[in-house]
């Protein structure tokens, strides 16, 4: 089974949400969204990722977020949304930081 990976580079903000929405919701469906190249994330970007997750759940398929950049981790922690995505990378980094 091949993986359909979407790599997002640069800003994941309101200015790109309109451009990225049809790509994220395209057929065949995206299985993984790779976020290591994200330099900025705002609430519109988070909403877009949440919409992608809701669509995956509705279609009874998995969607994985991977390679979280520092910008993504910072916003996920600020908004406390890592659990929504089942996002172990972010939740694990938060646990490690709280032990330091």
CB of 35 closer than 8 Å to CB of 67 = yes
Mean pLDDT, the chain, whole residue set: 86
pLDDT band at 99 (very low <50, low <70, confident <90, very high): very low
| Residue among 61, 51, 57 at smallest CA distance from 31 | 61
Sorted by where each begins, the domain ranges of the chain are 5-94
Q: How confident is the model at residue 98 (pLDDT cuts 50, 70, 90)?
A: very low
In angstroms, rounded to a whole number, what is the distance separating the alpha carbons of residues 86 and 40?
A: 21
Give the pLDDT mean for 67-76.
94
- The fold of the 5-94 domain, in CATH, is Transcription Regulator spoIIAA (3.30.750)
Backbone angles phi, psi at 63, to 5 degrees: -130, 125
The half-sphere exposure of 5 on its side-chain side, counting CA atoms within 13 A, is: 11
pLDDT, residue 39, reads 97
How confident is the model over 7-19, as a mean pLDDT?
94
Confidence (pTM) = 0.83
């Amino acid at each position: 089974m091949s993986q359909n990976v979407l790599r997002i580079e640069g800003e994941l903000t309101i200015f790109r949400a309109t451009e990225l929405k049809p790509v994220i919701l395209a057929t065949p469906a995206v299985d993984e969204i790779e976020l290591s190249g994200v330099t900025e994330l705002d609430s519109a970007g988070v909403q877009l990722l949440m919409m992608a997750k809701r669509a995956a759940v509705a279609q009874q398929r998995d969607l994985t977020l991977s390679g979280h950049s520092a910008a993504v981790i910072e916003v996920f922690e600020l908004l406390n949304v890592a659990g929504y995505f089942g996002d172990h990378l972010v939740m694990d980094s938060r646990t490690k930081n709280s032990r330091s």
